[in-house]
Chain A
Amino acid sequence: MVATKTVTVDIHHLTRVEGHGNIVVDVQNGELTQCELQIVETPRFFEAMLRGRPYEESSHITSRICGICAVGHATTSLRATEKALGIEPTEQTVLLRKLNFYGEILDSHILHAYLLVAPDLLGVGSVIPLAKSAPEVVLRALRMKKLAGDLCAAICGRHTHPIAMTVGGFTHFPTIEQLYELRERLERARPDVDATVELFQTLELPQFERDTEYIALRKSDEYSFIDGEIASTDGGTWAIEQYREITNEYLVPHSSAKHTANQRQSYMVGALARFNVNHDRLHPKAQAAADALGLKPVCTNPYMNTVAQVVEIVHSVEHAIELIDTLLEGGVAWEAPAPPSRLSGEGAGACEVPRGTLFHNYVIEDGLVVGANCIIPTGQNLANIEADMRALVPQILDRPREAIALALEMLVRAYDPCISCSTHLLDVTFI
């Protein structure tokens, strides 16, 4: 009967994602005629806002693109500016930025895994009934999120829209006492991290495989979150400056966010892509967690993105402790930000923010931004999500309409999409 089935799924305003998107699937007599993730959020025009602004303001303006990955936008913005103006951050700056970044990765991944995805896997509609049925799970999530936020607050003043990060360095430094306290709290969080791995071992994720291209930043000596080369599971590496060669943005009528494609029709970025590209660079405890969770490279089940996030939670806590040890060993000194060596130039920065690879590209003339381009992870994932939907729907057509809708919602949520970040329907011509 499946072959002649007619199903229409129209999920208007998908919940438990950041921003506004609709899922529209139309199957007529067993044939998939429409399968779209419609992005209906208004374009944001941040790139236009940057034009004419002093370069020092870029990170503060662009951090407002997102309230969840504000540190990611600020860091990527700083790297683009620093490359444009020939600024070399010190080793201490690099260490502090990495540590700060882990605060954001933890905050975002805990939010997604516990508050947005776990309700699906535990069969409840949202975090509120989950808090009733399993209060210890929600309290653990809130406890870990609090630690993540406090980590960022100690390093960059506050998590959402950081104030102490500046071009070339920091304007504020954590005290040794704060670092000791953070280290102790991170150590005390290990049972919560272990419990997180155990929780996701018990949760059953949908079985669905679709091979695609996975893209992430890669470094020779670490699991990269800041800088590196662009690397693909299909082979090939690109300098960050060549980002347009892999993103190849194009417009589709049903989305106010652009789609991207590299060596195939679509590619995936995010925790699962990072794991697939960089699993050999994970902290040993995170590798052990991946084994325990049954996550093996190259994993082609997009629902496993949340599991890869759990693995990155383990990595972030362990590497943050190591970074604090390095900082404590050397001491944290007050440093003036590294100065620019020129006031005109072009630079591209890239970071692995919670949802995937983020690119910022600025042209600066006489200290003013004259051109800007920001390519956000969710935009890069949209074409891949739709390709997954097209592959998934025929496999689940025998299910009731509600079950099809739920499977599709869970698929989109697995990507942890940040829809309002991804809309930037603005053609930028570099001068």
Chain B
Amino acid sequence: MSRSFEVGFRAVKDGTLVVALGNPQRGDDGVGAAVVARLAALPLPADVELTDGGTPGLETALLLRDCRRAIIVDAAQMDIEPGDWQRFAPDAVSLRMADNRGTLHSAGLAEALALGDALGILPSDIIIYGVQPAVIGWRPGLSAAVSAAVPNVAAAILDELLDSRMNTDGKRQDTGR
């Protein structure tokens, strides 16, 4: 089993890459890293690689290259209760820049997915787990609500990793607390 916690671009060929996005120095933005760290302690299928992708901006597109399936875990502003989470497909992530012209400071997951899609390098199967943050502040550490969600999100991802029937079912809309 290959597990990398370095910010890198070493996706498993033809396997599943679980990518944490976000900055653990900024409160609940570290939820992705916390979920991936929890998964790292669990027995996983051999074709699964875990990566803490950090905040790479457009280079997320390269990170996702060469894997069959990518599962992205990130804090997401969804106007639901802090700690609640959703599983959704990439087309649910909207581009913030309506004119699609982009500046360097605004490149996020949506822009990276748009770039990867345009380049034709994204895996066919991308699943995003978004967790509603309570606080994205200027100190590390998760809020109680988001911290409590970490084992549940990790368990849902583990279910997905162990159950290949879900691989092609990008429409499933799981929610939970």
Contact = CB atoms under 8 A, between A and B. Distances in A.
Interface of A: 15-19, 68, 111, 115, 125-129, 131-132, 135, 138-139, 142, 145-146, 158, 420
A142 B62 CA distance: 8
A126 B119 contact: no
B171 interface: no
Interface of B: 7, 9, 58-59, 61-62, 99-105, 111, 114-115, 118-121
Given A18-B103, A128-B111, 10 more contacts: A15-B103, A18-B105, A115-B58, A127-B102, A128-B115, A135-B119, A138-B115, A138-B119, A142-B59, A146-B59
B115 A131 contact: yes
A138 B114 CA distance: 13
Q: Say whether chain A's binding surface is mostly helix, strand, loop, or mixed.
A: helix
Contacts of A125: 99-101
B102 A15 contact: yes
A158 B58 CA distance: 17
Contacts of A138: 115, 118-119
A129 B114 CA distance: 9
Contacts, number: 54
Nearest to B9: A146
Contacts of B105: 18-19, 420
Contacts of A18: 103-105
11 contacts: A18-B103, A18-B104, A18-B105, A111-B104, A126-B100, A128-B100, A131-B119, A132-B118, A138-B118, A139-B121, A142-B59
Given A128-B118, A135-B118, A139-B119, A16 B103 contact: yes
Nearest to A119: B101
A135 B104 CA distance: 20
Contacts of B115: 127-128, 131, 138
B28 to A, nearest CB: 22
B118 A129 contact: yes
Most buried by B among A125, A126, A129, A132: A126
Contacts of A68: 104
A68 B120 CA distance: 27
A135 B62 contact: no
Nearest to B106: A15
Nearest to A129: B118
A128 B101 CA distance: 8
Contact of B114 (A128, A135, A158): A128
A125 B105 CA distance: 17
A129 B120 CA distance: 12
Contacts of B114: 128
A15 B101 CA distance: 7
A103 to B, nearest CB: 15
A148 to B, nearest CB: 12
A145 B103 CA distance: 17
Most buried by B among A111, A128, A131, A420: A128
B47 to A, nearest CB: 24
A111 B9 CA distance: 18
A216 to B, nearest CB: 25
A135 B120 contact: yes
B78 to A, nearest CB: 24
A111 B57 CA distance: 13
Contacts of A139: 119, 121
A17 B103 contact: yes
B98 to A, nearest CB: 12
A131 B118 contact: yes
Given A142-B62, A146-B9, A16 B118 contact: no
A131 B117 CA distance: 9
A125 B119 CA distance: 16
